[in-house]
Amino acid sequence: SLVLACACRAPLTRHEFTRGAMGTEFRLVFFAADAARAAHAAEAAFARIAALDAALSDYRSESELVRFGELSDGACPTAWTQVSPDLAAVLAEAEDVARASGGAFDVSGGPLVELWRRARRQGELPPPARLAAARASVGWRALELDRTRGTARLHLARMRLDLGGIAKGYALDAALAVLTRHGLERALLAGG
């Protein structure tokens, strides 16, 4: 006797979702068996992106990143500070890229970014004294990490970190992991 088994699946259909976060638009395109499952997975992925935006943003005064930078407004070096696993992972990756690029990639450039954002809004160049003061608060080696303990500290006064060059990629990886946990195997994600 011959027995044939059919592992038939429901046909997959294409679904696309967009939502704003991190100062840009995130787009998720993936294939799922039904619209309800697709919407549930997309909501979970967008929730993960929103949580990362709240933690890693330099635009949100209450974000973990901003609060960490504000510690350097007091005595430096700052005390070792426990950071979230997400912030620790992004800072570790940023340190690796800074080291590999000889400092060309530097998330400690926040004071300069802040100064140039203001200059753009006002339509005038920053005064040389303010540029010098901002430069004195920048240097990737002044951000110290203890990767084992998940702690970090800052060695320069008024340091501000700007993760704009790395946080969106981290958020996309995290969103893809969420979609994978929801059983979605075919996806394209874009942020920016």
User: Taking a C-beta distance cutoff of 8 angstroms, is the pair 163, 65 a contact?
Assistant: yes
CB distance 192 to 58 below 8 Å: no
Please, what is the end-to-end C-alpha distance for the chain in angstroms?
58
State yes or no: pLDDT of 84 exceeds 70.
yes
pLDDT level of residue 135 (50, 70, 90 thresholds):
very high
Average pLDDT of span 159-186? 96
In the prediction, which pLDDT does 11 show? 87
pLDDT beyond 70 at 22: yes
> Which residues make beta-bridge pairs with 32?
13
Q: What is the pLDDT of residue 117?
A: 92
For the record, the structure tokens of 34 come out as 């039904």
156 neighbors 72 (Cβ within 8 angstroms) = yes
Task: Count the Cβ atoms, other than its own, within 10 Å of residue 157.
Answer: 16
Provide the pLDDT confidence category of residue 9 given band limits of 50, 70 and 90. low
The distance of Cα 22 from the centroid of its chain, to the nearest Å, equals: 8
What percentage of the chain has pLDDT greater than the value 90? Answer: 91
Q: Which one-letter amino acid corresponds to residue 39?
A: A
pLDDT band at 1 (very low <50, low <70, confident <90, very high): very low
Kindly tell me if the per-residue pLDDT of 88 is higher than 60. Answer: yes
pLDDT above 70 for 3: no
Q: Average pLDDT, stretch 88-115? A: 97
Mean pLDDT of the chain: 94
Does pLDDT of 92 surpass 90? yes
pTM, full prediction: 0.88
pLDDT of residue 7: 55
Mapped onto helix, strand or coil, the DSSP state of residue 89 is helix
